Amino acid sequence: AVNRIMGRGAFIVFEGLDRAGKSTQVSMLTDALRARGVAVQKQSFPDRSTAIGKLIDDYLTKKVELSPEAAHLLFSANRWECKDRLIKSLEEGTTLVVDRYAASGAAYAAANSGQTLEWCSQPDRGLPAPDLVVFLRVAEEEQQKRANWGEERFERVETQRKIGKNFDRLADSRTWFGLDAQRDKAAIHAEILERVLRAIQECADQSVKALAH
């Protein structure tokens, strides 16, 4: 692929509240990049396929109860168990398009546990840092209209409000790209694609950075 010659892949993360349309946009972006000859891989966190991920899935679907802090450390462990694979892919020139990552970890855990955002960010320190965070904004009225709303843990208005405030505090102007996600899917996609193609070029000759707080 073109970007194998040009340098490493970009680490693109999608963040936002539940039902913001992240998964749809992740798929549209992945397909569009692939169609342009970009080596690309899609990934979601939590990765529910691993042993830790299965426990997280049971927690999210309310089959098991865990203390908020213990749950948070599992979400973080679920990223740590993927660390080497993520870095290897990036270094081989593969761009990663990732549905949720450390910001979701901190924003949800702080809302759920009452611990500070800083406390909740610590377990992810040292993991590879995203080159670009695409943040999809959705209003709560719209969120509630979307399919399957309210089934999983955290899908409550009060909780989502707290999480939204946490995301706003975590957003940094250098790497975050925020968009109004209540528009035509294709229009949102076009804006994201343009920004991502730029990010791929910009990070091609840079080393992979680490999360620091």
Closest separation between CB of residue 137 and Mg ion, Å?
A: 16
Q: How many CB atoms lie within 10 A of CB 139?
A: 14
Residue 46 contacts which entry, Mg ion, ligand 2DT, none (Cβ below 5-8 A, type-dependent): ligand 2DT
Q: Which of 3, 10, 82, 108 binds ligand 2DT (CB under 6 A)?
A: 108
Q: Which of 43, 95, 104, 121 binds ligand 2DT (CB under 6 A)?
A: 104
Rounded Cα–Cα distance for residues 14 and 26 (Å): 7
Contact between 99 and Mg ion per CB under 5 A: no
Contact between 131 and Mg ion per CB under 5 A: no
**Is there a contact between 79 and 124 (Cβ–Cβ < 8 Å)?**
yes
Number of residues that bind ligand 2DT (CB under 6 A): 11
Applying CB under 5 A, which part among 2-10, 14-22, 83-91, 93-101 lies near Mg ion?
Answer: 14-22
Contact between 133 and ligand 2DT per CB under 6 A: no
Strand ranges in 17-163 using DSSP code E only, listed in sequence order? 40-44, 95-99, 132-137
Contact between 124 and Mg ion per CB under 5 A: no
Applying CB under 5 A, which part among 15-23, 68-76, 124-132, 170-178 lies near Mg ion?
Answer: 15-23
Contact between 20 and ligand 2DT per CB under 6 A: no
Strand order in the sheet with 40-44: 40-44, 95-99, 11-16, 132-137, 176-180
- Count Cβ atoms within 10 A of the Cβ of residue 45 and give its class: 0-12 exposed, 13-18 middle, 19 or more buried: buried
Place of tokens 């970890």: 105
Place of tokens 């707080």: 213
Contact between 60 and ligand 2DT per CB under 6 A: yes
Contact between 170 and ligand 2DT per CB under 6 A: no
Peptide linkage before 68 cis (omega within 30 of 0): no
Applying CB under 6 A, which part among 104-112, 132-140, 178-186, 190-198 lies near ligand 2DT?
Answer: 104-112
The angle, 0 to 180 degrees and rounded to 10, between the axes of the packed helices 157-170 and 102-113 is 130
Site for ligand 2DT in 187-206 (CB under 6 A): none
| Interface with ligand 2DT (CB under 6 A) | 18, 45-46, 60, 75, 99-100, 104-105, 108, 154
